Structure 1
Amino acid sequence: MLTIALEKASFHAFHGYYPEETIIGNEFILDISVRIPGTVPVDDLSETVNYQGIYEIAKAVMAIPKPLLEEVVYAITDALKSRYPNITHSHVTLRKMNPPMGAPIRNSMVSLEKDY
């Protein structure tokens, strides 16, 4: 298996269950990794997953506010598989920095791992 990943991509977005989160927004950190069959060396971009394409998917999904972070990670995995059908596994982790909980918490986190 060959793994292609983006780590700690940072976005200011408006995901959240509470109304103020959709107005103020928050900082989010996103980790995405995908696996494709990798039994032979890759020497052409068309034979792999372009990590710029992964970022474009992440940016597009992060721009659409959702009440639950679970919705966001599912939308990212669906878009990844749609654009890159050769993906056999994906792992998406989304962290909301300083969630508005009235307590000193660095981040909340939702992670989705899928085999295709």
Structure 2
Amino acid sequence: MLTIALESIKFFAYHGLYKEEQVLGNHFILDVQVSIPEPEHPSMLSESVNYEELYSIARRVMEVPQPLLEQVVHDITAAIRAKYPYVTHSKVTLRKQAPPFGGDLAFSVVSLEKQY
């Protein structure tokens, strides 16, 4: 199994249930990890997953405001699987910095892990 990952991608986006989050926005950190069967020719990008394309998928999804982070990680996972149907495992983790509900915490975290 070969794993390809992007770690700690930083975005500023407008995801959130509360109106102030949708107007003011927030900082997010995204991790994306996918696994595929080991390529026969590991020097050929066509037999792997292009991490530049993984970033592009993540950026496109992050640009569309959603009330729930659960929807964001679902959409990223679905878009990756649509582009790379040979992915056998994926894990997408999204962290929202200092969510505005009055608690003293660094991040709220939503993660979706799938085995295909």
Superposition TM-score, scaled by structure 1 size: 0.97
CA RMSD between the two structures: 0.9
1:72-98 CA distance string (max 9 Å, x none): 000000000001111011000000011
1:46-61 equivalences in 2 (<5 Å): 46-61=46-61
8 Å contact kept, 2:39–2:47: no
Matching residue's letter, 2:59: K
Gaps of at least 5 residues in structure 2 are none
The letter for the 1-side match of 2:106 is: R
- Which residue number corresponds to residue 112 of structure 1? 112
**Percent of aligned pairs with the same amino acid:** 55
Cross-structure match for 2:23: 23
How many residues align structurally? 116
Distance 1:41 1:49 in 2: 13
- Deviation, structure 1 residue 42: 0.6
State the secondary structure of the residue aligned to 2:76.
Answer: helix
Deviations 1:20-73 (A, max 9, x none): 100000000000000000164511111100000000000000000000000000
Letter in 2 for 1:44: M
One-letter amino acid matched to 1:103: G
CA distance in structure 2 between the aligned counterparts of 1:39 and 1:82, rounded to whole angstroms:
19
Q: Where in structure 1 are there 5+ consecutive unaligned residues?
A: none
What's the CA shift for 1:104? 1.6
Cα distance in 1 between the residues matched to 2:15 and 2:57: 16
| 2:98 aligned with 1:98 | yes
